[in-house]
């Protein structure tokens, strides 16, 4: 009985064929390349030469929690900054199921068809609970994923919103260095994530559905105020008429808000992400926003304001992390918690003691 299994269809005789050896070598080579640690310089070179593997690896380092990676991440970001190009950053929000991913795929495909390079990221703090991710869902953006001029990255998981947001922001920088001129950040319109995304984009788009009558109910005022445009999605089939009606109502509602600093009056449009209608119009709206804001200098000013905000946010986050990760503090904190439970010390005294210790 011949127990030996042939591993290559090309080998006809017993033993190992030349092609088998070269195949094995090639596979081993690819594997070791994948496993090999890239230096910060190698990663940055790869990124600016538009190598998606390098970009993905660099993002993984940014998302990593290890101290060793934190240093490398900082180096990578530093080296990428001079290469960050002129981009447009777009945030897209809306309740689950409104069609954000479908819309982004349609818009993304349209944009690559007119010569743009599109990066799609997500801020999804809920994924840390479910272990999944809005963009990780394999059934979504199937076509855009295959597009050479598009890069899609799901949300960093297992993190606080603050952590995810900072990492997404750093990822935006890397994508820009990688030559992506349009950055789209998807976030689900529940909780606080839309505020975080609003603080990292130039243009904030709210997707809505034409509801059954009271379109204006159940909308968080805060989100309406943040929106630079509202797109009524799923305007197809029987939904076209209600969508048009909703457009009129939202337009009226938006006029009730005080005018924005940038002289931009938020616009409402209708689209069908599924049927690819209204996509070009949505993009033209974004372009006209960018034109207005660049002319009145708001575009750059807004980014400077965002940078200041992120400086403070990052310090806040890092201080907190470093404090809680400090070995002495970790030890002492346990003891102080016990002391507070036993009424041996007030919580304020305990807190000051720990802060002094740090
Ligand atoms: N009829 C119609 N269906 C749509 C349209 N856009 C999206 N859908 C459908 O709506 C469902 C949800 O779409 P998604 O794009 O996954 O929605 P989402 O907002 O990204 O959802 P989450 O990521 O879960 O928050 C899917 O079944 C889509 O096919 C549209 O324009 N018209
Ligand atoms: Mg989605």
Q: Provide the residue-wise pLDDT of the chain in tens; the chain has 358 residues.
A: 444 444 444 433 444 555 555 667 766 666 665 667 899 999 999 999 999 999 999 999 999 888 789 899 999 999 999 998 789 999 999 888 889 999 999 999 999 999 999 999 988 766 544 444 455 454 468 889 999 999 999 877 667 788 888 899 999 999 999 999 999 999 876 667 888 899 999 999 999 998 744 445 455 667 888 899 999 999 999 999 999 999 999 899 888 888 888 889 899 999 999 999 999 999 999 999 999 999 999 999 999 999 999 999 889 888 988 899 899 999 999 999 999 999 999 999 999 999 999 8
| Of 34, 57, 80, the domain-final residue | 80
Q: Which tokens belong to 253?
A: 């509602």
Q: Are residues 94 and 68 in the same domain?
A: no
Q: Are residues 257 and 111 in the same domain?
A: yes
Separation of CA 106 and ligand 2 centre (Å): 13
Strands (E), the chain: 88-94, 118-123, 150-152, 182-188, 203-209, 229-233, 267-270
Q: Are residues 174 and 259 in the same domain?
A: yes
Say if 303 falls within a structural domain: no
pLDDT recorded at residue 86 = 83
Specify the residue for token string 């999944």.
132
> Are the beta carbons of 200 and 239 closer than 8 angstroms?
no
Q: Are residues 53 and 126 in the same domain?
A: no
CA pair distance 158, 74, nearest whole angstrom: 21
CA pair distance 34, 114, nearest whole angstrom: 33
CA dihedral 8, 14, 15, 17 (to 10 degrees): -50
Separation of CA 232 and ligand 1 centre (Å): 12
Q: Are residues 110 and 52 in the same domain?
A: no
Q: Are residues 207 and 240 in the same domain?
A: yes
Residues facing 206 on adjacent strands: 93, 230
Q: Are residues 124 and 262 in the same domain?
A: yes
Q: Are residues 175 and 34 in the same domain?
A: no
Separation of CA 287 and ligand 2 centre (Å): 24
The closest alpha carbon to 99, from 287, 247, 271, belongs to: 271
Domain that holds residue 312: 308-357
Q: Are residues 170 and 42 in the same domain?
A: no
Q: Whose CA is nearest to atom 23 of ligand 1?
A: 134
Q: Whose CA is nearest to atom 12 of ligand 1?
A: 97
CA pair distance 358, 324, nearest whole angstrom: 9
Residues facing 118 on adjacent strands: 150, 182
Which ligand ends up closest to the CA of 282? 1
Counted domains in the chain: 3
Residues facing 255 on adjacent strands: none
Q: Are residues 156 and 226 in the same domain?
A: yes
pTM for this one?
0.83
Q: Is the CB of 234 under 6 A from ligand 1?
A: yes
Say if 150 falls within a structural domain: yes
Separation of CA 135 and ligand 2 centre (Å): 6
């Amino acid at each position: 009985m011949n127990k030996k299994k042939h591993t290559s269809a090309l080998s006809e005789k017993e033993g190992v064929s030349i092609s088998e050896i070269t195949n094995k070598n090639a596979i081993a080579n690819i594997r070791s390349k994948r496993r090999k640690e890239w230096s910060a310089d190698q990663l940055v070179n790869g990124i600016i030469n538009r190598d998606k593997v390098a970009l993905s690896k660099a993002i993984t380092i940014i998302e990593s929690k290890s101290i060793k990676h934190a240093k490398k991440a900082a180096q990578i970001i530093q080296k990428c900054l001079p290469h960050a190009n002129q981009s447009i950053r777009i945030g897209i929000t809306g309740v689950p199921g409104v069609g954000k991913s479908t819309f982004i795929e349609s818009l993304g495909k349209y944009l690559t068809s007119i010569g743009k390079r599109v990066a799609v990221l997500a801020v999804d703090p809920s994924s840390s609970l479910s272990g999944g991710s809005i963009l990780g869902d394999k059934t979504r953006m199937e076509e855009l994923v295959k597009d050479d001029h598009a890069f899609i990255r799901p949300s960093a998981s297992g993190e606080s919103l603050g952590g995810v947001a900072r990492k997404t922001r750093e990822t935006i920088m890397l994508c820009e260095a990688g030559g992506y001129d349009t950055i789209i950040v998807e976030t689900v319109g529940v909780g606080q994530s839309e505020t975080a995304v609003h603080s990292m984009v130039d243009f904030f788009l709210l997707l809505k559905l034409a509801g059954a009558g009271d379109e204006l109910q159940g909308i968080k005022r805060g989100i309406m105020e943040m929106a630079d445009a509202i797109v009524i999605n799923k305007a197809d089939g029987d939904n076209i008429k209600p969508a048009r009606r909703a457009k009129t109502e939202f337009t009226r509602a938006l006029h009730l808000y005080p005018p924005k600093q940038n002289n931009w009056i938020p616009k409402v449009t209708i689209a069908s992400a599924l049927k690819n209608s209204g996509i070009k119009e949505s993009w033209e709206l974004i372009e006209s926003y960018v034109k207005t804001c660049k002319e009145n200098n708001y575009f750059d000013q807004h980014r400077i304001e965002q940078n200041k905000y992120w400086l403070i946010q990052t310090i806040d986050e890092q201080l907190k992390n470093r404090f809680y990760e400090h070995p002495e503090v970790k030890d002492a904190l346990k003891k102080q918690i016990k002391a507070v439970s036993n009424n041996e010390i007030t919580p304020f005294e305990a807190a000051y003691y720990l802060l002094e210790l740090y």
